[in-house]
Copies of this chain bind each other. A is one copy, B any other.
Amino acid sequence: MSKKNTNDMIIIALDAMGGDHGPDVTVSAAVHILQRHPDLKLILVGDSNILESAVSEEGGSVSDRLVVEHASEVVEMTDLPSHALRKKKDSSMRVAINLVKDGVAHACVSAGNTGALMATARFVLKTLPGIDRPAICTALPTISGHTHVLDLGANVDSSAEHLLEFAVMGSVLTSAVDDNPNPTVGLLNIGEEEIKGNERVKEAARLFNECNLNYVGFIEGDGIYMNPADVVVCDGFIGNVMLKASEGVAKMFGAYLKKEFKRNIFTRLSALAAYPVLKAFKKRLDPRSYNGASLLGLNGIVVKSHGGADAYAFGKAILEAREEVIKDVPNQIRRKLESQLEIAKEEQ
């Protein structure tokens, strides 16, 4: 179901049982977001006993836009994707995705098991024509804004052709959510020179140059954060390691800064003096603000929240889904792929 009319309500299904905290986070986030966005209606999918009592407690004035859809099972973080797919057909995750397929919801959001979410979404919604492999894409902060990076772990050993699919999808998403008509696209590599890298990256660079992408060349790991391109493309193994290593450095930095400020009474006083600065700094790079990764290349909108997300972060993931509904991202990707295909045909 695509949202044709701007007066229509936007309906998003939430896997209310997913993530480390389940309904404790998802229900609060839903209420908070509904209070701020009157164009939204949210469907909480999961154990109806738990969810209905949570809604009657917390729902207040937005209860009429917060409905519950029962699902009897929950996909665990430790479940294999194949197990979730075959054995948990009434999981909150699966039912939320089914609601998108059946046209009841425009999008769904889950903080559950990433592998299971990708496998289930791919099975239920199918990929768009011309897409061989869906990819996971998220925005990361940079020195002067943000950049969209994909794939972040849906695929390993991506071919040059897969990297091209990722580039097209990332480019469409960025164009849509950032109102950027011609986003620049970079390719992650171990050097900026043309001779560097492995064969797949070199071949991908050749393909990127031939397409109507705004391709700006190779980008090194440190370059991602220097804002050299609006979209950065890489294989999912590399993207996943890169993303998590970046999170690891950020955590280590935070831990050391805290430790140094807690060293003695003088450093504690200086922390007090520096508090407004440290708070502004933390806010600017708050990973919660960047929560909400898009599963791109599917016949429908699916957004993955971080498993450990709190209500603020889960709310950000809901807003990412809302934005993609408004901009009709899957159909934009479909059209972009069709026009690429026509260009390729004309050239033959």
Contacts and interface: CB of A to CB of B under 8 A. Distances in A.
Contacts of A252: 141-143, 225-226, 285
Nearest to A253: B253
A225 B248 contact: yes
A237 to B, nearest CB: 6
A343 interface: no
A265 interface: no
Interface residues of A, number: 61
B221 A248 contact: yes
Nearest to A247: B222
A107 B18 CA distance: 56
Interface string A67-108: 000000000001010000000000000000000000000000
Interface in A131-186: 141-143, 153, 156-157
Contacts of A234: 241
Nearest to A255: B143
Given A190-B237, A238-B237, A244 B271 contact: no
Contact of A242 (B221, B251, B276): B221
A238 B221 CA distance: 10
A339 interface: no
A280 B253 contact: no
Interface in A243-299: 243-253, 255-257, 260-261, 263, 266-267, 269-271, 273-278, 280-281, 284-285
A22 interface: no
23 contacts: A143-B251, A157-B198, A190-B237, A190-B240, A190-B241, A198-B237, A220-B240, A222-B244, A225-B245, A225-B248, A238-B241, A241-B241, A242-B245, A245-B245, A253-B253, A256-B281, A256-B285, A260-B280, A260-B284, A270-B270, A270-B274, A270-B277, A271-B277
